[in-house]
Structure 1
Amino acid sequence: MGSKYRLLPHLERVFAEIGGETAVDAFSGSGVVSYLLKVQGFAVTSNDFLNFPAVIAAATVQNSSVRLDQDLIDQICGPPADDRDFIQSTFDGLYFTPEDRRFLDSAWSHIDTLKGYRRDLAISALILSAARKQPRGVFTFTDGTKYADGRRDLKLSLREHFRERALDYNATVFSNGKRSRARRGGVFEIPDNTPDLVYLDPPYAPPSDDNDYIKRYHFLEGLSVYWRDVTIMENTKTKKLEKRFTPFAYKRTIEDALLRSFEHFADAGAIVLSYSSNAIPGAARIRDLLGKVKPSVEVIAIDHKYSFGTHVAAARRDVSEYLFIGRD
């Protein structure tokens, strides 16, 4: 939702100026910033409290050499290894065609036999395939015909998507000579709290309602574990998962959560925080909070467009994206 890809040139310059050997990306999301840090030569700890971002980071940041060979891609795209039908029956009539839902079950019948980075890569390719095929990339609605605008991503079958996305993920794999790691957990539980650089990109607390990532990405989260050890809210039309509380998503708890994050990384070389001008608290308050642990705080405002979709006609919202840079 945040389209951090557009901010990468700015982040690259900031990270290069800070320098160092080790970095933490505490809210990794799509993993694009963790990957940038790896490209820039850091040993990266990539973290998220959801499972599917942790899988993506394992495949692209922690993994330095393993790829999916063509025979395995063909096998996953071939006939099913068993007769499982969980996705077909649970999501009957939702999100995808019957053929696409059959493919997801079939793909998982093969993925279940994989281990290590091959499993991470295959799950990542499946996640990205589902996100690309779903109009707007989120799973808060069930009628996709409203957004069926004829773009290629919506025309491809999920099987065709998977073949392309598997090759895309293969192309991301490289070694920078450092050892990186991907983990799933809360920001306050990250053990590497004295790196040279910490990047924080928490959910932005809106002035009203909340910023619930599970509501938007529940299908991707479930898909990443084949809905094992998660609870589907059966009474919901979208079959979403139970909400997992995060203090960053609510205006009543965001200030304390930010301060606790800054305190957790108080001994890091530098703290870089991304935050939006249309969220709570405002820039002045965040600067005060970061200043409690880092005496020097620089604020950079970047004009930014948030894309609420995956195509050129999607509605966009002009805001400023702030980069707060705290140093000793």
Structure 2
Amino acid sequence: MGSKYRLLPHLERVFAEIGGETAVDAFSGSGVVSYLLKVQGFAVTSNDFLNFPAVIAAATVQNSSVRLDQDLIDTICGPPADDRDFIQSTFDGLYFTAEDRQFLDSAWSHIDRLTGHRRNLAISALVLSAARKQPRGVFTFTDGTKYADGRRDLKLSLREHFRERALDYNATVFSNGRRSRARRGDVFEIPDTTADLVYLDPPYAPPSDDNDYIKRYHFLEGLSVYWRDVTIMANTKTKKLEKRFTPFAYKRTIEDALLRSFEHFADAGAIVLSYSSNAIPEAARIRDLLGKVKPSVEVIAIDHKYSFGTHVAAARRDVSEYLFIGRD
């Protein structure tokens, strides 16, 4: 799930220039762009086809007043409310220490008693704790000891992480005077098709293989629902979830998926698409596709460095990130 933190200043300028009151973030991911739009005063519809990004957006974008009080944080970090052990038994010996896995079960014994945005905030803090604790933030491998480079995130227990992440999420809560909402669903089913601004940041289709977010983030997705109503592939080493098809992840289907997205939001004031130079199709082809819906297309190329991992020795790759801005 590519981070957009370094692109935020560029996006902020583009969004401010477009203006308006309503915005759609159709592939919300980490939620940072949805949150930026909220900060800029838009009423935001934040969407993702995975559950954990939708929960994060509900906690930070839709939520305008609710926070986790210290007593509740202490309760979640305290003794368990029941004797559940699903995570401990299912992921025995995988990813985290026995103490950390016990904490995840224990935390959920309390979260299951919460509703509304308190539940969303608690799940978000738990998900971010697991992502920070897991080296590289992805769950394609089960033994992170070779990435133990001394970083503080790897030294903290998940209980300690949760206390800090809960306060971090509390600090994001504010009201911009408009009603925003978060949803989980298919981009082609987003009902807000006439927003002043639509931001699209789909998975980038690689020249080979596919861009499978479930493979990387299956543990976070499962954790966000306590593995209810999902199917674990028990015969896999990582205990990953079944893949969910998205046409944006494959080179054979990406062009049609992009065009369908543009057509779905044809009545929006402006469409802004982020895409990478190391993916397909190429920039000229994307410009042609967007031009079928929006006659005026501007392309901005931004030098961007992607980090493949969060550890010290993580590989970095210089690419250009394109912003395609389509208007009538």
Same fold (TM over 0.5): yes
Deviation at 1:31, TM superposition (A): 0.3
1:209-252 C-alpha deviation (Å, 9 max, x unpaired): 00000000000000000000000000100000000000000000
1:142-187 C-alpha deviation (Å, 9 max, x unpaired): 1101111010000000000000000000000000000000000000
State whether residues 205 and 211 of structure 1, in contact with CA within 8 Å, keep that contact through their aligned partners in structure 2.
Answer: yes
Deviation at 1:3, TM superposition (A): 1.9
Deviation at 1:312, TM superposition (A): 4.0
Q: Which runs of 5+ in 2 are unaligned?
A: none
Query: 2:142 aligns to what?
Result: 142
State whether residues 290 and 326 of structure 1, in contact with CA within 8 Å, keep that contact through their aligned partners in structure 2.
Answer: yes
State whether residues 287 and 324 of structure 1, in contact with CA within 8 Å, keep that contact through their aligned partners in structure 2.
Answer: yes
Alpha-carbon distance between aligned partners in 2 of 1:174 and 1:311, rounded to the nearest angstrom:
32
SS, match of residue 44 in structure 1: strand
State whether residues 84 and 106 of structure 1, in contact with CA within 8 Å, keep that contact through their aligned partners in structure 2.
Answer: yes
Alpha-carbon distance between aligned partners in 1 of 2:169 and 2:219, rounded to the nearest angstrom:
20
CA RMSD of superposed structures (Å): 0.5
Alpha-carbon distance between aligned partners in 1 of 2:170 and 2:310, rounded to the nearest angstrom:
22
Deviation at 1:310, TM superposition (A): 1.9
State whether residues 305 and 318 of structure 1, in contact with CA within 8 Å, keep that contact through their aligned partners in structure 2.
Answer: yes
Percent identity reads 96
Per the normalisation by structure 1, the TM-score is: 0.99
State whether residues 147 and 311 of structure 2, in contact with CA within 8 Å, keep that contact through their aligned partners in structure 1.
Answer: no
SS, match of residue 232 in structure 2: coil
Once the two structures are overlaid, the 10-residue window that deviates more, 31-40 or 301-310, is: 301-310
Alpha-carbon distance between aligned partners in 2 of 1:65 and 1:2, rounded to the nearest angstrom:
29
In the alignment, is residue 214 of structure 1 matched against residue 220 of structure 2?
A: no
Alpha-carbon distance between aligned partners in 2 of 1:133 and 1:290, rounded to the nearest angstrom:
40
1:111-154 C-alpha deviation (Å, 9 max, x unpaired): 00000000000000000000000000000001101111010000
Query: 2:259 aligns to what?
Result: 259
State whether residues 247 and 257 of structure 1, in contact with CA within 8 Å, keep that contact through their aligned partners in structure 2.
Answer: yes
State whether residues 132 and 310 of structure 1, in contact with CA within 8 Å, keep that contact through their aligned partners in structure 2.
Answer: no
Query: 1:114 aligns to what?
Result: 114
SS, match of residue 317 in structure 2: strand
Query: 1:326 aligns to what?
Result: 326
State whether residues 95 and 142 of structure 2, in contact with CA within 8 Å, keep that contact through their aligned partners in structure 1.
Answer: yes
In the alignment, is residue 96 of structure 1 matched against residue 96 of structure 2?
A: yes
Alpha-carbon distance between aligned partners in 1 of 2:307 and 2:175, rounded to the nearest angstrom:
32
Alpha-carbon distance between aligned partners in 2 of 1:312 and 1:18, rounded to the nearest angstrom:
38
Alpha-carbon distance between aligned partners in 2 of 1:297 and 1:268, rounded to the nearest angstrom:
14
1:278-327 C-alpha deviation (Å, 9 max, x unpaired): 00000000000000000000000000011111244311111000000000
Alpha-carbon distance between aligned partners in 1 of 2:24 and 2:268, rounded to the nearest angstrom:
10
Alpha-carbon distance between aligned partners in 2 of 1:66 and 1:29, rounded to the nearest angstrom:
22
State whether residues 64 and 174 of structure 1, in contact with CA within 8 Å, keep that contact through their aligned partners in structure 2.
Answer: yes
SS, match of residue 244 in structure 2: coil
State whether residues 3 and 30 of structure 2, in contact with CA within 8 Å, keep that contact through their aligned partners in structure 1.
Answer: no
Deviation at 1:264, TM superposition (A): 0.1
SS, match of residue 274 in structure 2: strand
Once the two structures are overlaid, the 10-residue window that deviates more, 206-215 or 311-320, is: 311-320
Q: Which runs of 5+ in 1 are unaligned?
A: none
State whether residues 61 and 181 of structure 1, in contact with CA within 8 Å, keep that contact through their aligned partners in structure 2.
Answer: yes
Alpha-carbon distance between aligned partners in 2 of 1:249 and 1:42, rounded to the nearest angstrom:
29
Alpha-carbon distance between aligned partners in 1 of 2:3 and 2:219, rounded to the nearest angstrom:
19
Alpha-carbon distance between aligned partners in 1 of 2:302 and 2:313, rounded to the nearest angstrom:
23
Number of aligned residues: 328
Query: 2:164 aligns to what?
Result: 164
Alpha-carbon distance between aligned partners in 1 of 2:233 and 2:3, rounded to the nearest angstrom:
28
Alpha-carbon distance between aligned partners in 2 of 1:311 and 1:30, rounded to the nearest angstrom:
19
Alpha-carbon distance between aligned partners in 1 of 2:214 and 2:188, rounded to the nearest angstrom:
20
Alpha-carbon distance between aligned partners in 2 of 1:309 and 1:108, rounded to the nearest angstrom:
28
SS, match of residue 162 in structure 1: helix
Deviation at 1:14, TM superposition (A): 0.1
